[in-house]
A = this chain, B = another copy of it.
Amino acid sequence: MNIELTREYVAELQALIEAKDEKSALRMMENLHPADIAEIYNELQIEEARYLYLLLDPETASDVLVEMEEDDREQFLKVLPPEVIASQFIYHMDSDDAADVIGDLSEDKKQEVLLHIDDVEQAGHIVDLLSYDEDTAGGLMAKELIQVNENWGVTTCLREMRKQAEEIDEIYYIYVVDDDNKLKGILSLKALLLASSDTLIRDIYDSDLQSVSTDTPSDQVAQIMEKYDLVVLPVVDSIGRLMGRITIDDVVDVIRDEAEKDYQMASGISEDVETTDSPIRLSRARLPWLIIGLLGGIFVAAVIGRFENDLKINPEMAFFIPLIGAMAGNVGIQSSAIIVQGLASNSLGLESTFRKLSKEFLVALMNGLILSTLLFVYNFFLSDSLALTYTVSISLFVVIIFAALFGTLIPLVLNKVKFDPALATGPFITTMNDIMGLVIYFMMGRILYDVMI
Which residues of A pack against B, CB within 8 Å? 1-2, 5-7, 10, 31, 33, 35, 39, 42-43, 158, 161-162, 165-166, 168-172, 188-190, 193-194, 208, 210, 224-231, 247-249, 252-253, 255-256, 259-260, 262-264, 266-269, 273-276, 279-280, 282-283, 286-287, 289-291, 293-294, 296-298, 300-302, 304-305, 308, 311-312, 315-327, 329-331, 333-334, 336-339, 341-342, 345, 347-351, 356, 359, 362-363, 366-367, 370-371, 374-375, 378, 425, 427, 430-431, 434, 438
Contact of A165 among B190, B291, B333 (CB under 8 A): B190
By a CB distance below 8 angstroms, the chain B residues around A42 are 349
The number of times this chain is found in the oligomer is 2
The answer to whether A350 touches B10, judged by C-beta atoms less than 8 angstroms apart, is yes
Instruction: Determine chain A's interface SS by DSSP, over half rule.
Output: helix
The answer to whether A263 touches B35, judged by C-beta atoms less than 8 angstroms apart, is no
Contact (A434, B326) CB under 8 Å given A33-B228, A363-B282, A363-B283: yes
Beyond A256-B345, A287-B370, 7 additional pairs, beta carbon < 8 A: A33-B228, A168-B190, A260-B341, A268-B330, A274-B338, A290-B330, A326-B430
Contact of A323 among B225, B297, B312, B333 (CB under 8 A): B297
Contact of A262 among B10, B263, B289, B356 (CB under 8 A): B263
- Distance between A344 CB and nearest chain B CB, rounded to angstroms: 9
Bound: A210/B409 CA distance, A: 47
Contact of A337 among B267, B326, B375 (CB under 8 A): B267
The answer to whether A301 touches B322, judged by C-beta atoms less than 8 angstroms apart, is yes
The answer to whether B249 touches A334, judged by C-beta atoms less than 8 angstroms apart, is no
- Distance between A326 CB and nearest chain B CB, rounded to angstroms: 6
The answer to whether B327 touches A325, judged by C-beta atoms less than 8 angstroms apart, is no
Bound: A290/B369 CA distance, A: 12
